[in-house]
Amino acid sequence: MSMSLPDGKEIRPVRFAREHIGQVAELERRFFSEPWSESALSLLLTEEYPSFVLVTDTGEVVGYISAQRALDELQIINLAIREGYRGRGFGVMLLETAEAYCRGEEIVSLSLEVRESNSAARGLYKKQGYREAGVRKNFYRQPTENAVVMIKNLI
């Protein structure tokens, strides 16, 4: 699975590795009110946290999906695409990468929380077949906001 951009850049998903920590930490700080630090992100190097990045052929991280495995379920922690690369299907590519991993590992469902006001992300998850399974009141800080829980079953 890879995608070519009009400027010739080739973008492909790879497993999150130590060399990606700095760029992912920068994206975390840019997009999330409670970002994971570089040392927290090193957790994602372990088998319990199967996580993926989209990279260009020159090693730029275009986006990433962090996740934690809990038995036969994958809990998506965060997902983001760098601003200049949005609206081209890379969000879909990240979710499909995580799903392909799950199918190879006999993981039967994916779940996540998303801010109620985040219509872009909610639109992405809905398009990919996630259903709304409930609301966690005041789940987020800075600003305080409800989370919508979304789930996709693979079987």
Ligand X SMILES: CC(C)(COP(=O)(O)OP(=O)(O)OC[C@H]1O[C@@H](n2cnc3c(N)ncnc32)[C@H](O)[C@@H]1OP(=O)(O)O)[C@@H](O)C(=O)NCCC(=O)NCCS
Report if residue 49 touches ligand X, rule: CB under 6 A.
no
Among 120, 131, 133, 136, binds ligand X (CB under 6 A): 120
Please give the Cα distance from 145 to 134 (Å, whole number).
14
Report if residue 79 touches ligand X, rule: CB under 6 A.
yes
Reduced DSSP (H G I as helix, E B as strand, rest coil) percent helix, strand, coil of the chain, to 5 = 30, 35, 30
In sequence order, which ranges of 7-137 are alpha helices (DSSP H)? 21-31, 38-41, 90-105, 119-127
Report if residue 5 touches ligand X, rule: CB under 6 A.
no
Residue 60: CA count within 13 A, CB half-sphere: 10
Report if residue 118 touches ligand X, rule: CB under 6 A.
yes
Report if residue 111 touches ligand X, rule: CB under 6 A.
no
Choose one: 12-20, 34-42, 117-125, 132-140; the region binding ligand X (CB under 6 A): 117-125
CB neighbours of residue 49 within 10 Å: 17
> Residue 71 corresponds to which tokens in the numbers above?
């038995």
Report if residue 11 touches ligand X, rule: CB under 6 A.
no
10 is catalytic: no
| Binding stretches for ligand X (CB under 6 A) | 31, 78-81, 86-92, 114, 118-121, 123-124, 127
As annotated, the active-site residues are 113, 125
